[in-house]
Structure 1
Amino acid sequence: MKVVTKEITIQSRRRRDVINITSQVEDFVRGSGIRNGIVLVFLPHATSALFANEDEPRIRRDYENLFEKLVPVNGSYYHNEIDNNADAHLLTSILKQFYVLPIVNGELVRGTWQEVFLAEFDGPRSRRVVLVALGE
């Protein structure tokens, strides 16, 4: 089995930001030389997360509205007594810091409208994303 790794950096622009990273993942998969296997997308951070869904301007606003309804930025949180980012930690715990997708015939497999997103909850920041492709 072949294993290929790469680290990319994604820069957020706002405190809460939704960034499409699909093209970077696809470029990595194509360049990995792996024809069939999986790719792990891992985000080694406690205040940002990954998810997959449609990329359309209105749904992006809906994601941000959902995040605010679930965990308001200005809520009353104990963690804010030491660091003003409890909302970011709480949102990240609802989502996840990794995503695994299949690679078939050298291409990333995803649904017609499915894109891979980095959700920033404590920006703006520079975020590391670790990509690991495994297969043959």
Structure 2
Amino acid sequence: MLLEITVPTEERFQVVDITDEVQHLVWRSDVTHGVAVVFTTHTTTGLAINENESGLIEDIRAKIKELIPEEGNYAHNRLDGNAHSHLRATLLLNPEVVVPVEDGELTLGAWQRILFIELDGPRHRRVLVKVCGC
């Protein structure tokens, strides 16, 4: 079953915890044992599994900005000025995460959350969730 989440972002660079939305889709799917594949359909976004703690989010944002600064002589900027967003998504993030499902629940560690990372907002983004039973 292919399901969808809409993630509205309000900032150019924003981290959004989508764990609860994904869990609701798992419940809706009626899959009790399997996997949830979460996939962002945008080239300037990414997904990660990590802790949703404000200091860590601040550190993630700072490190990504440090590793791939917005200012740069990027060839893609001749087109639309967001090369840094594409590079950040390609080199530092993943377009998908896979989470086991047991007894109808996402099997995440104590502090793990599914984080959607917006790199070129604000926008309304689309995240696909495929819940497969096994």
Alignment of 1:104-115 (within 5 A): 104-115=102-113
Shift of 1:76: 2.2
Q: SS at the partner of 1:8?
A: strand
Residue aligned with 1:6, SS: strand
Structure 2, gaps ≥5 residues long: none
TM-score, normalized by length of structure 1? 0.94
Shift in Å, 1:65: 0.1
Q: How many angstroms does 1:75 deviate by? A: 2.2
The counterpart of 2:132, out of the listed 119, 122, 134, is: 134
CA–CA separation in structure 2 for the residues paired with 1:13 and 1:85: 17
Is residue 22 of structure 1 aligned with residue 19 of structure 2? yes
Normalising by structure 2, what TM-score?
0.96
Distance in 1 between residues matched to 2:65 and 2:2, nearest whole Å: 34
Q: What is the CA distance between 1:81 and its match in structure 2?
A: 1.3
Q: Which runs of 4+ in 1 moved over 6 A?
A: none
Equivalent AA in structure 1 for residue 98 of structure 2: V
Equivalences, count:
133
Question: How much has 1:31 moved relative to structure 2?
Answer: 1.8
Q: Percent identity?
A: 37
Give me the CA root mean square deviation.
Answer: 0.9
Amino acid at match of 2:10: R
SS state at 2:76 partner: helix
Structure 2 match to 1:117: 115
